[in-house]
Amino acid sequence: REGGVFGLGRKATDAEVAAWDIDIRPDGQGLPVGSGSVADGEPIYTDNCAVCHGDFGEGVGRWPILAGGHDTLTDDRPEKTIGSYWPYLSTVYDYVRRAMPFGNARSLSDDDVYAITAYLLYLNDIVDDEEFVLSNENFLEVRLPNEENFIPDARYEEPHYAEKSEPCMKDCKADPIEITMRAAILDVTPEDGGDDSA
Residue 15 is a binding residue for other proteins (CB under 8 A) = no
User: Do residues 36 and 115 touch, judged by C-beta distance below 8 A?
Assistant: yes
Measured between alpha carbons, how far is 79 from 61 in angstroms, rounded to an integer? 15
Stretch that binds other proteins, among 41-49, 91-99, 115-123, 131-139 (CB under 8 A): 91-99
Measured between alpha carbons, how far is 188 from 168 in angstroms, rounded to an integer? 34
Between 33 and 168, CB nearer to other proteins: 168
Between 37 and 90, CB nearer to other proteins: 90
How far apart are CB 153 and other proteins at their closest, in Å? 5
* SS3 call for 198: coil
Between 131 and 152, CB nearer to other proteins: 152
How far apart are CB 197 and other proteins at their closest, in Å? 4
Between 141 and 195, CB nearer to other proteins: 195
The half-sphere exposure of 59 on its side-chain side, counting CA atoms within 13 A, is 13
How far apart are CB 24 and other proteins at their closest, in Å? 8
User: How many residues contact other proteins, by CB under 8 A?
Assistant: 86
82 contact partners, CB below 8 Å, separation of at least 6: 57, 66, 67, 92, 120, 124, 144
Interface positions, 131-170, toward other proteins (CB under 8 A): 149-156, 158-161, 164, 167-170
How far apart are CB 112 and other proteins at their closest, in Å? 17
How far apart are CB 30 and other proteins at their closest, in Å? 9
Measured between alpha carbons, how far is 35 from 117 in angstroms, rounded to an integer? 10
118 contact partners, CB below 8 Å, separation of at least 6: 36, 37, 38, 40, 41, 127, 132, 133, 134
Residue 70 is a binding residue for other proteins (CB under 8 A) = no
Residue 98 is a binding residue for other proteins (CB under 8 A) = yes
